[in-house]
Amino acid sequence: MKSDRIKKLLFRIDEGKKLIDSFRPLPPSVVSRLQKQFILEWTYNSNAIEGNTLTLKETMIVLEEGLTIGNKSLKEHLEVINHKEAITFVEDLSTSETQITERNIREIHSLVLKGIDSRYAGRYRDIQVRISGAIHVPPDPLHVPDAMQKFTKTRLARSKTHPVEQAALAHLDLVGIHPFVDGNGRTSRLLMNLILMKHGYCPAIILKNDRMRYYGALDKGHRGQPDDFIFFVGRALERTINLYLEAIPEVKTRFITLAEAAELSPYSKDYLNVLARRGAIPAFKFKRNWIITKESLLQYISNHKE
């Protein structure tokens, strides 16, 4: 049973997705700019969470100019290059009609560790590991293949579960199995976004600055309480949706805030806010404000004159 806050969050996310879809196809310049921004942010933050010391600007230089950064290791440079290649692979998979497979996960991992650890790239671990700072202990290496087969059937199969929930739980469970010696976090985040993108959503980028909340939510999830992690992933996705909306010029011209809507209607801003939260009016949460088109507002007023 989903909690109220998760239901509301998923509602906002779906409304945001509908809004973005209503403007498709987006101008090529907008798509190109957003793709470049997401590859940079996704690569920098995912690597930084795992301890890579390249800054955002240094990551951009490696990605866009192919230059090396002084006093930084070859491994850190390869992590940047590899992650971009893994994103490209995930983007290609997301447009395929075929279901995500266990092999795809190993292929993603192989790209993540390419040139870094040729022995274990794309191969399940043969040693016991521990997740640093976590209470949860991953299964014995002998049980990993069976755990991954079960994972594929439960988390990668077509499901009636909301895609955001499915993606978050897939990430949670894959990290819990910890099937690889290294690169589990990056692979899990790539898989999470592959599931989201296959369902037409934007990628959810988990920020380095949220690392402790991220780890805390993961740990809680591994203790059988996944709601905080699902909510955490949903909020990360909502941030990406807002970045999309900020890049679409028509959003600013077509939508008005509820404060502006109150001036055009017999309802107060507070009452409109209640209607928006209940889903009674087609409003969308954009950053901290609910927004609605003037046409939708006038249609609601016309339908509720009584």
Q: Which of 86-95, 228-237, 255-264, 284-293 has the lowest mean pLDDT?
A: 284-293
Q: How many CB atoms lie within 10 A of CB 66?
A: 9
Mean pLDDT value of segment 34-57: 97
Helix 74-94 to helix 28-49 angle (10° resolution) is 130
- What is the average pLDDT value for the chain, to the nearest integer? 92
185 and 284 both lie in a single domain: no
DSSP-assigned letters across all residues of 220-274: HHHTT--HHHHHHHHHHHHHHHHHHHHH-HHHHHHEEEHHHHHHTSSS-HHHHHH
* 2: pLDDT strictly greater than 80: no
59 and 162 both lie in a single domain: yes
Bridge partner residues of 255 (DSSP): 293
Q: What is the dihedral of CA 85, 116, 155, 229, to 10 degrees?
A: -90
Question: Distance between CA 272 and CA 198 in Å, rounded?
Answer: 34
124 and 243 both lie in a single domain: yes
Query: Domain for residue 22, yes or no?
Result: no
Identify the residue whose tokens are 């101008």.
Answer: 27
In this structure, is the dihedral angle defined by the CA atoms of residues 265, 268, 269 and 272, taken in order, positive or negative?
Answer: negative
Mean pLDDT value of segment 242-269: 87
Contacts of 110 (CB under 8 A, 6+ apart): 121, 122
156 and 73 both lie in a single domain: yes
Contacts of 206 (CB under 8 A, 6+ apart): 45, 46, 49, 189, 214, 232, 233, 236
150 and 236 both lie in a single domain: yes
Mean pLDDT value of segment 147-172: 95
Contacts of 101 (CB under 8 A, 6+ apart): 152, 156
Query: Domain for residue 278, yes or no?
Result: yes
Among the three residues 211, 226, 247, which one is the final residue of a domain in this structure? 247
Q: How many CB atoms lie within 10 A of CB 260?
A: 16
Question: Distance between CA 65 and CA 302 in Å, rounded?
Answer: 56
Domain around 82: 27-247
Among the three residues 247, 267, 295, which one is the final residue of a domain in this structure? 247
Among the three residues 211, 232, 247, which one is the final residue of a domain in this structure? 247
* 85: pLDDT strictly greater than 70: yes
Helix or strand run (H / E) with residue 192: helix 184-198
- Residue whose C-alpha is closest to residue 176's, from 206, 214, 134: 134
Please confirm, yes or no, whether 178 is among the known catalytic residues: yes
Question: Distance between CA 212 and CA 201 in Å, rounded?
Answer: 25
133 and 282 both lie in a single domain: no
* 288: pLDDT strictly greater than 80: no
**pLDDT for 242:** 84
- Residue whose C-alpha is closest to residue 6's, from 171, 228, 201, 225: 228
Mean pLDDT value of segment 253-263: 88
**Count of domains in the chain?**
2
- Determine the Cα angle at 240 with ends 237 and 243, to 5°: 155
Question: Distance between CA 199 and CA 195 in Å, rounded?
Answer: 7
249 cis-preceded (ω within 30 degrees of 0): no
**pLDDT for 131:** 77
Query: Domain for residue 128, yes or no?
Result: yes
pTM of the full structure: 0.87
144 and 270 both lie in a single domain: no
**pLDDT for 17:** 93
Catalytic-labelled residue, pool 83, 109, 171, 178:
178
For residues 183-212, b (16+ Cβ closer than 10 Å) or e, as one string?
bbbbbbbbbbbbbbbbeebbbbbbbbebee
Mean pLDDT value of segment 7-36: 90
222 and 269 both lie in a single domain: no
Contact 283, 302 (CB under 8 A): no
**pLDDT for 306:** 60
